């Protein structure tokens, strides 16, 4: 079993910085009404970016192996959460948007499927307690 480490340090109030084994710092903060300075991403929001970044990395790597050329790509993430504490996410939807020429739907479907069912560790952890759905759009690049 591999072990991983991280550290979170308080800067002031509820403004924190965190660092993991990649040795990159990320700043987290909360609203002023909760003791923060409203100067950085909320810790729970990082969860959405982690999911999006994990699955996006997989999808791009798979499509590159299939020699699919993309002119643009993004994952739009929407989430629903409970109204009362603890305010947890209950549903997350990932909308994959691909832009390019002659992108085959079957290649995109397979790349997303492999990410969601085999490769994305964040999906594997979260799907045990959160409904995660996805959709995709393929847009043709405009002629220059």
Q: Phi, psi (5° rounding) for residue 9? A: -120, 135
Q: Cα separation of 13 and 34, whole Å?
A: 9
Per-residue pLDDT of the chain (144 residues; tens, 9 = 90+): 999 999 999 999 999 999 999 999 999 999 999 999 999 999 999 999 999 999 999 999 999 999 999 999 999 999 999 999 999 999 999 999 999 999 999 999 999 999 999 999 999 999 999 999 999 999 999 865
Question: Measuring CA to CA, how many Å separate 32 from each of 40, 43, 48?
Answer: 11, 15, 22
Q: How far is CA 137 from the centre of its chain?
A: 17
Please state the pTM of the whole predicted model.
0.92
Question: Measuring CA to CA, how many Å separate 42 from each of 15, 39, 47, 119?
Answer: 10, 9, 9, 26
């Amino acid at each position: 079993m591999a072990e991983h480490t991280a550290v979170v340090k308080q800067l002031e109030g509820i403004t924190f910085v965190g660092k993991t084994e990649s040795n990159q710092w990320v700043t987290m903060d909360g609203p002023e009404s909760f003791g923060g300075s409203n100067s950085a991403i909320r810790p729970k929001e990082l969860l959405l970016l982690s999911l999006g970044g994990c699955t996006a990395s997989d999808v791009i790597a798979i499509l590159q192996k299939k020699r699919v050329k993309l002119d643009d790509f993004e994952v739009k993430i929407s989430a629903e959460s409970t109204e009362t504490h603890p305010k947890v996410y209950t549903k997350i939807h990932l909308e994959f948007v691909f832009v390019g020429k002659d992108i085959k739907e079957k290649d995109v479907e397979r790349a997303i499927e492999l990410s969601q069912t085999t490769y994305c560790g964040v999906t594997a952890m979260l799907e045990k307690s959160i409904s995660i759905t996805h959709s995709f759009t393929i847009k043709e690049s405009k002629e220059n």
